[in-house]
Amino acid sequence: MQFPDFLEFGSSLTNLEKTRNFNVFGNYTLEPFRNLLDSHGWRERKKPRLRISVVGTNGKGSISHFLAYRFSKLGYSTGLYTSPHLLDPKERIRLGPKFDPVTEADLQEVSEILFSQGTKEELSFLSWFEWFTLGAYSLFEKKDVSIQIYEAGLGGRLDATKLCEPDILVVCAIGEDHKAVLGNTKDLILKEKLGILSERTKQVFALHPGEELLPILKEECEKRKIQLHLFPSLPLGKPYLEHNREFADLITKQIYSNILEKDHAIEKSTYASSELLSNKDNSDASPANQGSEIPDLPPGRLEIVSKSPFIVYDPAHNPDAVKVTLNSLESLFPKKRFSVIAGFLPDKEGEKMGEEILTLTKRFGTETHFVQGAGFLLPKGFESLAISSDEISSKINELPGDGVLVLGSFRLYGYLKS
């Protein structure tokens, strides 16, 4: 019997990342997805597992990435599910120890499982994100993955990854993004993200959210009798990748000491590395050292995509993230003056981000340009700085300064690589 191709079937489903029509969340509920999974046992744990959910506005992707490498280095079979992707949707599902994008063969095995146990009719009601989340659940169980890391897509309470029922929750930096869906204030956004907590959740690891938000976090953990571990928020002048890497190190060591070392039901696949646990793992997470043998740098985060001309890419796409990226850039490359090319999607606060960027380039004596068309919305008031997506390549080669920072959307990465 021939089963549908996983990616082709997914392309027929509603994809909110393309339509950007997040208003549908007003009537959305997880119950149909939950009922489908439970009717076929598609989220059941076949053996003892450790499932980790990663939520937040900024830093989810890099922290999820760092965590995956660390648990794999400790000898555990590890699966990583993230979103969105940079170039290829297969990037969303990765298996250790190399964490290459999932293969077509693996996805076809998943398709065979799902279509042999379920029907095309019931699967056709899923969204694109639900389909990929189901693919990750199925593949990780089929491959007997002990540590499963799920980066939430949007929020937490209504996110498809919530149905993994996490044992551990990681809360990254909270900022204002997707406000029409998650709420207009950071306290509402944090509450929405904490909605991913389950009866299984025993520990929460969080970057300090600030004094105004901390009571919300503490109250929720106390109410549920969940142990809370706090890590300092990113200090000014420190590159965010370095800070996120240290946060991931702390999480890994705490989980290993408090859970994995005591509960041998969660099996290892190889012998654990002692370096990580003894603080001897001193590889530098700085993008400035790209090109050296550092296997765990997350792709597309302050990534040097070209050395001549010197181009750095980052997906920062909300005001808080842009501030952090600009500060990190200056810390990493203190002797370089950057011009900036930014492209923002229509549901983003382009005007606020544009002002932040202009402040930097005016100080550098360089230039800023904003991409319009091809799905990118030009921020109001910046019409004189507009370029088309077709002009990105030529503009990069003529901009003043010592390098170019490209940021604002995951979609821009494809333009740089092509």
| R_g (Cα) of the chain, nearest Å | 21
Of 236, 265, 289, the domain-final residue: 289
CATH assignment at residue 65: 3.40.1190.10
pLDDT in tens, 203-255: 999 999 999 999 999 999 999 999 999 999 999 999 999 999 999 999 999 99
**Quick one: how far is CA 132 from the chain centroid?**
15
Overall number of domains in the chain: 2
- The residue ranking higher by pLDDT, 187 or 291, is 187
Residues above pLDDT 70, as percent of the chain: 90
> Model confidence over 334-351: pLDDT tens digits?
999 999 999 999 988 999
Question: 303 or 268: whose pLDDT is higher?
Answer: 303
Residue 291 pLDDT = 43
Residue 22 sits in which domain range?
6-289
**Length, in residues, of the chain:** 418
257 inside domain: yes
- Angle, alpha carbons 155-230-302 (nearest 5°): 60
Same domain, 359 and 269: no
3-state secondary structure (DSSP) of residue 33:
helix
Q: Is residue 387 part of a domain?
A: yes
pLDDT at 302: 98
CATH number for the domain that contains residue 396 = 3.90.190.20
Which of 289, 311, 326 is the endpoint of a domain?
289
Show which of 260, 289, 318 is a domain's final residue.
289
* Residue 1 counted as domain residue: no
pLDDT digits (tens, 9 = 90+) for 47-66: 999 999 999 999 999 999 99
List, for residues 184-215, the tens digit of each pLDDT value.
789 999 999 999 999 999 999 999 999 999 99
Given a cut of 70, whether residue 9 has pLDDT beyond it is yes
* Same-domain status, 102 and 189: yes
Task: Note whether residue 319 is domain-resident.
Answer: yes
Contact 304, 297 (CB under 8 A): no
Is 321 found in the same domain as 284? no
249 and 275 belong to one structural domain: yes
Q: How confident is the model at residue 294 (pLDDT cuts 50, 70, 90)?
A: very low
Residues 89 and 237 in one domain: yes
Sole residue written with tokens 């065979």: 112
Q: What is the reported pLDDT for 177? A: 63
Question: Within 10 A of 169 (CB to CB), how many other CB atoms are there?
Answer: 25
Is 298 domain-assigned? no
Let me know if residue 294 belongs to a domain.
no
- Both 254 and 373 in a single domain? no
- Residues 176, 35 within the same domain: yes
Please tell me which residue, 24 or 317, carries the higher pLDDT value: 317
Q: Could you tell me if 252 and 346 lie in one domain? A: no
266 and 378 housed in the same domain: no
The pLDDT, as a whole number, for residue 292 is 39
Q: Which two tokens stand for residue 152?
A: 């939430």
219 shares a domain with 72: yes
CB atoms within 10 A of CB 296: 19
**Do 190 and 92 reside in the same domain of the chain?**
yes
Domain check: are 178 and 204 in the same one?
Answer: yes
